[in-house]
Structure formats: structure tokens, C-alpha cells
Amino acid sequence: MFKKIILLCSVLLVFGATGIALAQEATDTVVAVDQPAVQATVQDEAITAQELDISEPTLLPYSKFYFLKNWKNAIQSVFTFGQVKKAELNLKIASEKLLEARKLAEKTNNPKILNKATELYQNKIEAVQKNIAKFKETATTSVAVSKFLDKFTKQQILQEQILDKLASQVPASALEKIQQVRERQLEQFGQVMQKLEDKDKIKARVEKGLDALKENDLKPLLNLQIIKKLEDKFPTSTLEQIKQAKTENLQKLNEKLQAMPAVAQQKIENYLDKAKTTIEKKQEMLNEIKNSLP
């Protein structure tokens, strides 16, 4: 079983950005999995509003009262001073918009509605970037910026996980918009790290964000998926730190897998089987995983 997990892990990591969404379109054979185990895995992946430090949204776009929420946010923005505080507020609102999009995806397949909800989230992430561009200090010179960067890193990782799952739930006509937002978000995440953090501290900052996530059997695998995505999108000047993080987390995953009871290994195997897609282009990651084995 452990050998199979390692093989499937390499496939998943290569296609980390499209994962489950591509699996739905794949023409190769997918191994049958136990449905209760798959459902348990999905529950483990779900990110809660509490993890995002917000309340669960109840008022959704296209509600006739949604304008009241926009008014509230606009008033808060007017009375929020300083670019760091404004960035924190926009980051919070962005998380709210993303959970609104997730709720809408549970209620409708209308691409117009889903695309608009995704756009509302994108607009707030762009607002965060504009605030950050005006920061006059970095994480090294300002405690406030350092605390913000901790929050920003954790939120970006959580939001990426939500977008990843959302991509598997929406119709093809709404998928393109989500993928565009994800690509842009990861690129901007790297640019923020480059601007605000010392190059030799990026790995520690990213790992701190990953460590803050809730514990479950899939966490080592999900961490490695996220790092792989960052490696693909972060600026060249930051790649050495990200590659170091990938190597260390790969070793942690291998150690965790070998120590796991059979039930937990089966859970990961089910997840990987569900996410499996075409075998093309897997060789690089497969070799990395093989080389990391003891």
C-alpha cells in the first residue's frame, strides 16, 4: 500500500493546481474507492469560517438585501486608517466573499452567478494587493507588518484550499474564472513575500502558515501540494527557500506515511485515487519522491 501511495502522490503533486477537477474529465481508469472513506476525506478538507477568523456568511450575492453588507463594508473601510489595517480589513472581506462563492456553488450551477461571486472575491484580493503596495516597512522593520504577514500567509493557504475544492464543484463554464483567480492569487502571494519578507525567512514564514492549519491525516499531503503550487508560481528569487520547504515536507510525509496505521493509509490512498488523472508529466515528481525514500 505504501508504494502505491507514493506513486499516486507523485501524480497528484504534478497536477496539484487542477487535481480533482481534472480527475472528473480524465479518460484513464480510476480505482474504485470506498464512499464513506471518501466522504470522510472531504470533511477533513473543508475549511471553516472560524479558521478564516470570520463568521459564516448568511447574506449572499443576488439577495435583495446584499447591498446592506456592501454598505457596512464601505463604512468600515472609511473609518479604518493605515494601509496595514486596511489590508487586514480587505483580507477579511475577501475571505467572506470566498465563502459566499462556496455557498452559492452548493445552491446553483448558474455560471453567471458563480463567476460574479468569484469576481467579488478577486476584487477584494486585488484591494489587499493595492494596500500592500503602499506599505512603507517590511516584516523585519515593523511588528505590525510581520503580524499581518503571518495572517496573510495563513489566509492565502486556506483560500487556496477552498478554491481547489471549489474548482471540483462548479460547472466547466465557471471553472475557467476560478482557475484564473487561483493562478493570479498564487503569483501575488509570491510577490508579497518578495516585498515584505527577507529572502532567507520565507521558508519559515510559509511553514508557520502551514503549521497553523488544523491537524488531520491528510495534512502532510496537503502541505506538500500547497508548497508545490508555490514553487510553480513564486518569483525566481524566492525559489530556493520554497524548494527547501518542499524537500523537508516531502521527508515528513514519507515518515508520517510509514508510521501511519493501515486505516489512515487507506484514507490517503482513497483521496489520491479520487484525485488521480493522466500519467503524463509525472516523472519529475516521481523521481523526487523515490529519491527521498530511505
Domain end position, chosen among 207, 231, 259 = 207
pLDDT of residue 23: 35
- In this structure, the answer to whether residues 96 and 183 fall within a common structural domain is yes
- In this structure, the answer to whether residues 242 and 146 fall within a common structural domain is no
- In this structure, the answer to whether residues 236 and 281 fall within a common structural domain is yes
- In this structure, the answer to whether residues 241 and 191 fall within a common structural domain is no
- Does residue 41 fall inside a structural domain? no
pLDDT band at 62 (very low <50, low <70, confident <90, very high): confident
User: Residue 181 is part of which domain span?
Assistant: 52-207
- Does residue 46 fall inside a structural domain? no
User: Which segment of 83-87, 138-142, 287-291 scores lowest on mean pLDDT?
Assistant: 287-291
- Does residue 47 fall inside a structural domain? no
Average pLDDT of 236-248?
86
Q: How many domains would you assign to the chain? A: 2
- In this structure, the answer to whether residues 81 and 177 fall within a common structural domain is yes
- Does residue 95 fall inside a structural domain? yes
- In this structure, the answer to whether residues 179 and 229 fall within a common structural domain is no
Taking 50 as the threshold, does the pLDDT of residue 289 lie above it? Answer: yes
- Does residue 32 fall inside a structural domain? no
pLDDT band at 284 (very low <50, low <70, confident <90, very high): low
Interatomic CA distance for residues 271 and 252, integer angstroms: 18
Q: What is the DSSP string of 232-261?
A: HHS-GGGHHHHHHHHHHHHHHHHHHHHHS-
More confident residue, 284 or 97: 97
C-alpha distances in angstroms, 32 versus 27, 43, 178, 257? 14, 19, 28, 21
- In this structure, the answer to whether residues 16 and 116 fall within a common structural domain is no
Taking 50 as the threshold, does the pLDDT of residue 18 lie above it? Answer: no
Q: Give the three cell numbers for residue 204.
A: 519559515
- In this structure, the answer to whether residues 103 and 191 fall within a common structural domain is yes
Tell me the per-residue pLDDT of 146-192, one tens digit each, with 9 for 90 and over: 999 999 999 999 999 899 889 888 888 899 999 999 999 999 999 99
- Does residue 29 fall inside a structural domain? no
Interatomic CA distance for residues 82 and 128, integer angstroms: 13
Domain end position, chosen among 165, 192, 207 = 207
Burial per residue of 179-209, b for 16 or more beta-carbon CB atoms within 10 angstroms, e otherwise: eebbeebbebbbbbbeebbeeebbbebbbeb
List of residues 6+ apart from 10 with CB closer than 8 A: 282, 285, 286, 288, 289
Sign of CA dihedral 207, 213, 219, 225: negative
Question: Cα-flanking dihedrals φ and ψ of residue 253, to 5°?
Answer: -65, -45
Domain end position, chosen among 150, 182, 207 = 207
- In this structure, the answer to whether residues 277 and 235 fall within a common structural domain is yes
More confident residue, 280 or 97: 97
pLDDT of residue 195: 92
Taking 60 as the threshold, does the pLDDT of residue 286 lie above it? Answer: no
- In this structure, the answer to whether residues 85 and 183 fall within a common structural domain is yes
- Indicate the residue type of 257: L
pLDDT band at 9 (very low <50, low <70, confident <90, very high): low
What DSSP state is assigned to residue 17?
Answer: T
The number of residues in the chain equals: 294
- In this structure, the answer to whether residues 124 and 202 fall within a common structural domain is yes
* pLDDT > 70 in the chain, percent: 76
Mean pLDDT of the chain: 79
Q: What is the pTM of this model?
A: 0.77
> Could you give the residue ranges of the DSSP H alpha helices within 26-110?
35-45, 66-78, 83-107
- Does residue 267 fall inside a structural domain? yes
- Does residue 26 fall inside a structural domain? no
- In this structure, the answer to whether residues 2 and 89 fall within a common structural domain is no
Average pLDDT of 260-285?
60
